[in-house]
Amino acid sequence: MNTPLTPQIKRPGGRSAQVQTVVRKALEELIAQEGRDKVTVPAVAERAGVSASSIYRRWGDVNGLLGETATQRLDPSRPLPETGDLKGELAAWARELITHLNKAGNTSLLKAAAALAGSEDTNCLKNRRAEATVLVNRAQARGDAAPSVQQVLDHMMAPIIYRLIFGSGVQPGLADQLADELFVLANPNGSA
């Protein structure tokens, strides 16, 4: 490889990452301020100060951009809790999720993502299943009684997401209540 004379221009990786950052930021601002319906590729391009063609080239269309941004942004980037107590770990996991999804713009992005969901690529919540699987598998490896991964999704994730989309807000304390309910449901006789 040749050493570039003008690194700012000749480093496509850096430039591309920069475009992605400004485009995602413009998209999030537009959704939060104007709503999903006002989000078009030309509108995002104008706000981001990039050409529309650079967006079409990278993301295909506005749905590709929305789906990828939702998958990225709705992912709270943090290590999973690990305390040796599954119920407490699930409650902490759900609390972080609620706090993250309550942030400005993220609930709007969640609703926009719901409209796109249904295929592997656009399902912005698939990483939550993977995380629940890690937590449940660790508890089982310790020999602890544990609900199934599907029960975690049905009785903790689903009520949180349902209330965020169709309800009027969610408090972080809901996480503890749902963890309590899940453990009653999955372990009705209280045996460990």
If the CB atoms of residues 15 and 126 are measured against its own copies, the closer one turns out to be 126
If the CB atoms of residues 19 and 97 are measured against its own copies, the closer one turns out to be 97
CA distances from residue 32 to 78, 112, 119 in whole angstroms, order as listed = 24, 11, 24
CB of 134 to its own copies, least distance (A): 19
CB of 85 to its own copies, least distance (A): 20
Structure tokens at 37: 């319906």
CB of 14 to its own copies, least distance (A): 32
Q: Which residues bind its own copies (CB under 8 A)?
A: 36-37, 62-63, 107, 111-112, 114-118, 123, 125, 151, 153-155, 157-159, 161-163, 165-166, 168, 178, 181-182, 184-185, 188
CB of 53 to its own copies, least distance (A): 20
CB of 79 to its own copies, least distance (A): 24
If the CB atoms of residues 54 and 187 are measured against its own copies, the closer one turns out to be 187
Those residues whose C-beta lies under 8 Å from the C-beta of residue 185, and which sit 6 or more positions away, are: 147, 151, 155
If the CB atoms of residues 19 and 164 are measured against its own copies, the closer one turns out to be 164
If the CB atoms of residues 138 and 177 are measured against its own copies, the closer one turns out to be 177
If the CB atoms of residues 22 and 56 are measured against its own copies, the closer one turns out to be 56
What DSSP line would sit under the chain, residue for residue? Answer: -PPPSSHHHH-HHHHHHHHHHHHHHHHHHHHHHH-GGG--HHHHHHHHTS-HHHHHHHHSSHHHHHHHHHHHHTS--SPPP-SS-HHHHHHHHHHHHHHHHTSTTHHHHHHHHHHH-SSTTT-TTHHHHHHHHHHHHHHHHTT-----HHHHIIIIIHHHHHHHHHSS---TTHHHHHHHHHHHHH-TT---
CB of 189 to its own copies, least distance (A): 9
